Chain A
Amino acid sequence: MAYNWDWGVFLQPTASGDDTYLGWMIYGFKMTIGLSLAAWVLALLIGALVGVLRTVPNKWLSGIATAWVELFRNIPLLVQLFLWYFVLPELLPESLGNAYKQSNPVVQQFLAALLCLALFTSARVAEQVRSGIHSLPPGQKNAGLAMGFTLPQTYRFVLLPMAFRIVVPPLTSEFLNIFKNSAVCSTIGLLELAAQGRQLVDYTAQPYESFIAVTLAYLIINVVVMFGMRWVEARVRVPGYIGGK
Chain B
Amino acid sequence: MNKTCTRFAVTALTAALLAAPAFAQETGTLKKIKDTGTISLGHRESSIPFSYYDDKQQVIGYSHEMMLKAVEAVKAELKLAKLDVRLMPVTSANRITLVQNGSVDLECGSTTNNLERQKQVAFSDTIFIIGTRLMTKKTSGINDFPDLAGKNVVTTAGTTSERLLRKMNEEKQMKMNVISAKDHGEAFLTLETGRAVAFMMDDALLFGEMAKAKKPGDWTVVGTPQSFEAYGCMMRKDDPAFKKVVDAALAKAMTSGEAEKIYQKWFQQPIPPKGLNLGFPLSDAMKALYKAPNDKAFD
Q: Are A15 and B163 in contact (CB under 8 A)?
A: yes
Chain A facing B: main interface SS: helix
In this assembly, does B32 line the interface, its C-beta being within 8 Å of a C-beta of chain A? no
B177 with A207: CB separation less than 8 A: no
Name B100's contact: one of A2, A89, A104, A199 (CB within 8 Å).
A2
B100 engages A1 (CB within 8 Å): yes
Q: Which residues of A153-200 have CB atoms within 8 Å of chain B's CB atoms?
A: 186-187, 189, 191, 195, 198-199
Q: Give Cα distance in the complex from A232 to B119, angstroms.
A: 49
CB of A134 within 8 Å of the partner chain: no
Whether B116 sits at the interface, judged by CB under 8 Å, is yes
**A189-B170 in contact given A2-B100, A16-B163, A205-B117 (Cβ < 8 Å):** no
CB < 8 Å neighbour of A102 from B166, B167, B169, B194: B194
Contacts of B194 in A (CB 8 A): 97-98, 101-102
Contacts A101-B193, A101-B194; A106 near B100 (Cβ below 8 A)? no
The reply to whether B100 and A201 contact each other, CB–CB distance below 8 Å, is no
Q: A70 near B: Cβ within 8 Å?
A: no
**Selected contact of B119 from candidates A4, A17, A186, CB within 8 Å:** A4
Tell me what chain B mostly uses at the interface: helix, strand, loop, or mixed: mixed
| Number of chain B interface residues as a range | 35 or more
Number of interface residues of A (CB under 8 A): 33
Q: How far is the CA of A108 from the CA of B170 in the complex (A)?
A: 22
Q: Mark A80-119, 1 if CB is under 8 A from B, else 0.
A: 0000001001100000011001101110100000000000
A201 interface neighbour in B96, B119, B238, Cβ under 8 Å: B96
Q: Is the CB of A105 within 8 A of B177?
A: yes
Contact across chains for A17 and B100 when beta carbons are under 8 A apart: no
The docked-state distance in angstroms from the alpha carbon of A98 to that of B193 is: 9
A20 on interface, CB distance cutoff 8 Å: no
Nearest Cβ distance between residue A85 and chain B, in whole angstroms?
9
Chain B residues, Cβ within 8 Å of A198: 93, 157-158
The residues of A that contact B238 with a CB separation of less than 8 Å are 2
The 5 closest A-B pairs by CB, nearest first: A202-B158, A16-B166, A16-B167, A101-B195, A105-B179
Chain A positions near chain B (C-beta within 8 angstroms)? 1-4, 15-18, 86, 89-90, 97-98, 101-102, 104-106, 108, 186-187, 189, 191, 195, 198-199, 201-207
Given contacts A17-B167, A201-B96, A203-B163, 10 further A-B contacts (CB under 8 A): A3-B120, A18-B166, A101-B194, A105-B179, A189-B182, A195-B157, A195-B180, A198-B158, A202-B162, A207-B100
